[in-house]
Amino acid sequence: MLPILFQDEHLVAIHKPAGLLVHRSELDRHETRFAVQLLRDQLGRHVYPAHRLDRGTSGVLLFALDRDTARALGAQFEGQAVLKTYLAVVRGHPPEAGHIDHPLSRRRDDKEWVGEKSSDEAQPAVTDFRRLAVCELPHQVDRYPTSRYALLELTPHTGRRHQIRRHLKHIAHPIIGDSTFGKGRHNRLFQQLFDCHRMLLACARLQLTHPHTGLPLDLVAPPDGEFAALLDALHWSEAVPAALAGRAPSGSPLP
């Protein structure tokens, strides 16, 4: 069963686990499990994904339950009216805060998304980040005797394919566990030390307007599984902001 974060007559949001595809793609013909199919079977009705998460990314995944709602949600995402907040563990110690404004060419495998055309033309892409915690492990991976890592909170303001992963590679702080844009030696260290075999990127929060009620909708998926265990092992759990960890701020009850 997929964990449901929110559901009404128009929308349903789940906490997508890492390793699960949103829907069938030409690049993964051998796969038989997809979030769309699993959720459709779980609810007994058609569902329409409102946005996408990479296979290795966990977190909030929003679906519409009818075509009109799907179009309304799509307009919010395309109009950059949805606030998305991610957590990532990266190599190195980035600045305490940063603004990445780096255009990205469209990825050729975008053909799996109906209606999109493949092109090499770079498109505007902007991501903000702030550093939440750092550590230095006594293990030599590169040329230094120790290895540095950081926990980041990221806000992508555009929705390019693999945007956060590519932007973090661009600033030389790739995500741990990212087999495409990351560094294999650092990925293997986390596998050996922490038994962590996933990409450490999660969509922890989506904030948008409900397309039918007009009320604000705040969807949160705290890190779980291997991601949560890794945060505990590095003593980073308390560094995660209360709103992203599913905790109420001090003095405020949970809704």
- The three-state DSSP-derived secondary structure of 112-147 is HCCCCCCCCCEECCEEEEEEEEEEEECCCCCCCCCE
Q: Is 54 a catalytic residue?
A: yes
Q: How far apart are CA 139 and CA 183, in angstroms?
A: 15
The pair of three-digit structure tokens given for residue 152, joined into one six-digit string: 């980041």
Task: Round to whole Å and give the CA distance between 174 and 26.
Answer: 26
For 114-135, how does the pLDDT look when each residue is reduced to its tens digit (9 = 90+)? 344 445 689 999 999 999 999 9
Distances in Å between the alpha carbon of 110 and those of 85, 86, 87? Answer: 23, 22, 24
* pTM score of the predicted model: 0.91
Helices in the chain by DSSP H: which ranges?
A: 35-43, 67-78, 163-170, 184-194, 225-233, 242-245
- For domain 4-241, give the CATH superfamily: Pseudouridine synthase (3.30.2350.10)
In the chain, what are the domain boundaries? Answer: 4-241
Nearest CA-CA partner of 175 in 191, 156, 157, 198: 198
Mean pLDDT of 192-197: 97
Q: pLDDT averaged over the chain?
A: 91
DSSP code for 34: B
What type of residue sits at position 208?
Answer: L
Q: What pLDDT, in 10s, does the model give residues 28-62?
A: 556 668 999 999 999 999 999 999 999 999 999 99
Residue type, position 34, single letter: F
Span of 63-77, 114-128, 169-183, 206-220 with lowest mean pLDDT: 114-128
Distance from C-alpha of 229 to C-alpha of 209, rounded to nearest angstrom: 32
pLDDT value of residue 29: 56
Residue pair 219/206 in contact (Cβ under 8 Å)? The answer is yes
Catalytic residue, from 41, 54, 68, 178: name it.
Answer: 54
Give the rounded percent of residues in the chain with a pLDDT score beyond 70.
88
| Confidence at 111, pLDDT banded by 50, 70, 90 | very low
3 state SS of 163: helix
As a whole number, mean pLDDT of residues 158-187 equals 97
